[in-house]
Amino acid sequence: MNSDKQSTIKPTRILFVCLGNICRSPAADGIMHHKVFEIGLKDVISIDSAGTYGGHSGELPDARMRQHALKRGYNLTHHSRKVTSSDFDRFDIIVAMDDYNFQDLFRLAPSVDAEKKIFRMTDFLTKISADHVPDPYYDGASGFERVLDILEDACEGLLQSIKQRKL
């Protein structure tokens, strides 16, 4: 992508958030990294993920999620971390995978302006109908595939919103 197209997109920093940061949010992180790289915006859009629970800090994503994501071309190498209040200063858009994490992020937000950065992942769906991104941790293969379907759709919708300057 040439620099003219990059200059039409304002620099944007995105944080994806789920509970443990080992399934949904690192998958969203990997999918969005892939999409941003493909369209040549890796220098304009930066992406990270975190969890509202820190019990998995430092761990790679769940092996089952890595396996299912790799089949679709996404290599998930993010190491889990817990979301912090400083993330509200570092990121422009903070995306929760479900209502539980959405509410936790509101409790962590240090200000009303910080709260305005919080969205639900399903806010960006364009093809699939879902009110949350389900936690596939206790589901079988179909649960991981369903999550990846939802995340691919929502990441595309989020990217379109950024490109159209809706966010």
CA 85 → CA 2, 18, 158, distances in Å?
A: 35, 15, 23
CB 29 within 8 A of CB 66: no
| 18 part of the active site | yes
* Sign of the dihedral defined by the CA atoms of residues 60, 63, 64, 67, in that order: positive
CA angle centred on 128, ends 122 and 145, rounded to 5°: 90
Partners of 49 in the β-ladder: 16
Exactly one of 104, 135, 153, 155 is catalytic; which is it?
Answer: 135
Catalytically annotated residue among 24, 29, 62, 104: 24
> Is 24 designated active site?
yes
* Phi, psi for residue 85 in degrees, rounded to 5: -65, -30
Selecting among 18, 29, 120, 153, the annotated active-site residue is 18
Q: Dmax over Cα atoms in the chain, in whole Å? A: 46
Which positions are catalytic?
18, 24, 135
